Amino acid sequence: MLFSNGAWRIEIGTLEGVGASLKSMIPFLCKKSGEAWTALRYLDDQITGNEFQDVMRAAVRRRNRERLGRRVNLPWTRTEGLARAAAYVSDFAGRKPTLRPDQEGQIVKEYLKSGLSQAKFAESVGISRDVLRGALLRQGRGSSSQM
């Protein structure tokens, strides 16, 4: 895609594609060949994220790059960083339940007896309508099309 100022934008969907594209472009790059080599070294786990950022920040100081976001401490290679991130994912996956299973069953029974709308019942027992909806779905008493 060519922009009005003469710059090109290339979109690549895989890391292998990024590596192959960089290798193909390096002979044609003037100002940014060092940055391209650095990106390849990072993708090949030869340098850490901090080293990668240092090279990019130096390019900003030389005015070869326009700007960067704030610095993030990444003292690992790409693969090490991905492994560390994967280890923590389970700690932060989704919200914690607001009702215990036994409470959930009791709430659903009371709601079904009440004859109230979900919103009015949820308000009366001090939970959100979304919590009630989730409890109904998990208890097999509701479907997203009914709500």
- Which amino acid is residue 88, in one-letter code? Y
- Which amino acid is residue 66, in one-letter code? E
In this model, does residue 145 exceed pLDDT 80?
A: no
| Residues forming beta bridges with residue 2, ordered by sequence position | 8
Mean pLDDT (the chain, rounded): 87
| Residues forming beta bridges with residue 8, ordered by sequence position | 2
Question: How far apart (Å, rounded) are the C-alpha atoms in residues 50 and 69?
Answer: 13
Q: Is 126 helix (H, G, I), strand (E, B) or coil?
A: coil
Mean predicted confidence (pLDDT) in 16-27 = 94
Q: Tens of pLDDT along 34-80?
A: 999 999 999 999 999 999 999 999 999 999 888 888 999 999 999 99
Mean predicted confidence (pLDDT) in 10-32 = 92
Question: How far apart (Å, rounded) are the C-alpha atoms in residues 46 and 59?
Answer: 20
In this model, does residue 18 exceed pLDDT 90?
A: yes
Each domain of the chain, given as residue ranges in start order, spans 15-92, 101-138
What would the two tokens of residue 50 be? 């901090």
Using alpha carbons, select from 53, 43, 10 the residue that is nearest to residue 29: 10
Cα angle value 84/85/89 (rounded, 5°): 125
Query: pLDDT: is 42 or 105 the higher one?
Result: 42
Q: Is 77 helix (H, G, I), strand (E, B) or coil?
A: coil
Q: Tens of pLDDT along 123-139?
A: 999 898 999 999 999 88
